[in-house]
Amino acid sequence: MSNDNDGTIGRRTPGGLRRIFDSISQMANSPWGNGPKDGDDGKGGGKKPGPRNPWVTPDPADTARGRKPRGPSALDELLRKGRGSFGGGGGSGGGGDGFDLSASARWWKWAIIAIVAIVLLFSTVHVVPPEKEGVVTRLGSYSRTVGPGVKFTLPPPFERIRLEDVRAIRTMAIGSPNATDENFVLTRDQSIVDLAYEVRWSIRDPELFIFQLAEPEDTIREVAESSMRATVANFDLVQAIGPGRVEIESQVQQRMQDLLDQYRAGVLIQGIAIRQADPPKQVDEAFKEVTAARQERESAINLARAYEQQVLEGARGQTAAFDKIYEQYKLSPGVTRRRLYYETMEAVLSKADKTIVEPRGVTPYLPLPEVQRRAAAADPAAKGGQ
């Protein structure tokens, strides 16, 4: 066997290499053997030939010795069909089907280039709408803020962009006007009022809004509740549920803005709207009675003030008339005194029974009031008879 191997190695031909592999396979009792060695006819003390190696082409020497070559295995057929599907033609060696590595490499190269180009296009080119601003982060840290338009960034994970709507006015409801969520607040007169209100806010600085606070909306809610309690504590219950609402809303908005500016939250408070301001349900009926009594008191006070104004205006009118009479009296005292006397007597005697007495001892009696009363009583009767 050593001579055979030496001779085989010395030839350095593909057929010699196949014989070396076949010899090694037979020595190791491998299933890849290619049949008996040279000089072994398969009879007597020779070893039993193993199965043929499916990767090795049948040796022409074996064919010449009368051994029947085996056809291609199923794996060979599968590989051949695969090479044909990729456009492989006849190869340069052996005349069999070959695989065009250059064409396949070019196809894969252009496919990879196209995929990379599409990924870069969608990850580096960004369209920022007019109502938004983009915050660009580089490796997780703030880099810059970009406005509306077409913007370019480095591909992820080097740079990322986050869009925030800076024009939208967002609404946060605190409490419930349907009495499903009670929100009790203490007033200055130690009363309790159930408040439901809304906070309207927008983003003023996207950088601060994203990076300064961990939970911006929760912070806004807590600041709103704190500001509302601090403001309502300076108002009475009647003011909190009635005429003081506008003032409360204004003060709460100012307090919230000051606190959020101190926190550098990047938020602008647009306004506060109180939707409900009622006493607790447990004392609602009693509070309604108190409210009705207060309304009656206000009504009586308003009537008294109206009468006061009426009397004052009458007194002012009489004072102005007296001043004018005094000016005329200074010009002609006698005439003014006589006119005042006649006017006074007319005002007094017009409502009293009068008797006219002629001079020189003759006393004719003429009861003018009685005559007038009889004439007035007879006039309706005469009209009824007609």
* pLDDT tens digits for range 275-295: 888 887 777 777 778 878 888
Cα dist from 175 to 152, 217, 221, 224, whole Å? 44, 16, 11, 11
Which is more confidently placed, 208 or 28? 208
**Residue 259 banded pLDDT, cuts 50, 70, 90:** very high
pTM of the entire predicted model: 0.49
| CA atoms within 13 A of residue 128's CA, in its CB half-sphere | 22
pLDDT > 50? residue 242:
yes
Residue 203 near residue 216, CB atoms below 8 Å: no
Measure the CA–CA gap between 185 and 225, rounded to whole angstroms: 9
CATH class of 170-279: alpha beta
Q: For CATH 3.30.479.30, list the domain ranges present in the chain.
A: 170-279
* pLDDT tens digits for range 43-76: 444 445 555 555 555 555 555 555 555 555 565 6
What is the secondary structure of 64-132 as a DSSP string? HTTPPPPPPPHHHHHHHHHHHHTT--B-SSTTSB---HHHHHHHHHHHHHHHHHHHHHHHHEEEE-TTE
The number of residues making up the chain comes to 386
The one-character DSSP state at 187 is -
What is the secondary structure of 216-236 as a DSSP string? HHHHHHHHHHHHHHHHHTTS-
pLDDT given at position 37: 45
